[in-house]
Amino acid sequence: MSGQDIEIESEDGNFSAYLSVPASGSGPGVLVLQEIFGVNAGMRSIADWLAGAGFTALCPDLFWRIEPGIQLSSESESGLQRAFELFGLFNHDTGIRDIATSLATLRALDTCTGKTGAIGYCLGGLLAYRTACHTDSDATVGYYGVNIQERLEEAAGISHPLMLHIAGTDEFVPPEAQARIHAGLGSNPLVTLHDYPGQPHAFARPNGDHSDAASAGLANQRTLDFLHRYLD
């Protein structure tokens, strides 16, 4: 596999994205939706992991409208403070527009074999849910998305499979919010919900303070099986 930064063209301007291609030279497409820390080393490693599993992975800079090229550490106080500032400034509607543009760009790449999905974490977990609701993503996965319970009416737009990983002790998604997600989405035949009891937010973040190898391994295997099932 090989990784490089490329440029995505949009009606509002161009923005960067990290592209990682499998060793075979091509594969189904997966859009990687960032956390609040930008397209940092963690997001790039996830794109490389997906490429190692046979997918052509593209991680777009969704903060470009605020400040292009953000790459913050999730383990520093200053990085965390700036990340929350960016989260507050982020426009979710233009973000979904940029995701749709990125999906179209990924599908058009010679290294993408056709079907294209998305995977997101934290902020990207919410955006993954909204991607399933508002775009033509062929299969979408969200990890510990925040505030999904406030947007359950959007689920009417889900037309392709969606998998959500829910952290049981997520400090940003309390038990009542998790209950609302289950009540609102649990009966939808296109939606698969997986709970991880006792796990905090970001339990699957590569090399993160809250990472849990067992739960991350289980969630990641479920993710790969899901993506291969619907994108291969």
Provide φ and ψ at 69, rounded to 5°.
80, 20
Annotated catalytic residue, options 122, 133, 165, 212? 122
Strand-pairing partners, residue 19, are 4, 58
**Beta-sheet pairing, 56-60 with 140-143:** unpaired
User: Is 201 among the residues known to form the active site?
Assistant: yes
User: Is 170 among the residues known to form the active site?
Assistant: yes
Contacts 24+ apart (CB under 8 A), 130-137: 130/92, 130/96, 130/154, 131/31, 131/33, 131/96, 131/99, 131/103, 132/157, 132/158, 132/160, 132/162, 133/157, 133/158, 134/96, 134/100, 135/96, 135/99, 135/100, 135/103, 136/103, 136/160, 137/31, 137/103
User: Is 133 among the residues known to form the active site?
Assistant: no
Strand-pairing partners, residue 94, are none
Annotated catalytic residue, options 48, 61, 170, 212? 170
Residue with tokens 């400090």: 171
Annotated catalytic residue, options 59, 112, 201, 212? 201
Report, as residue numbers or ranges, the catalytic residues.
Answer: 122, 170, 201
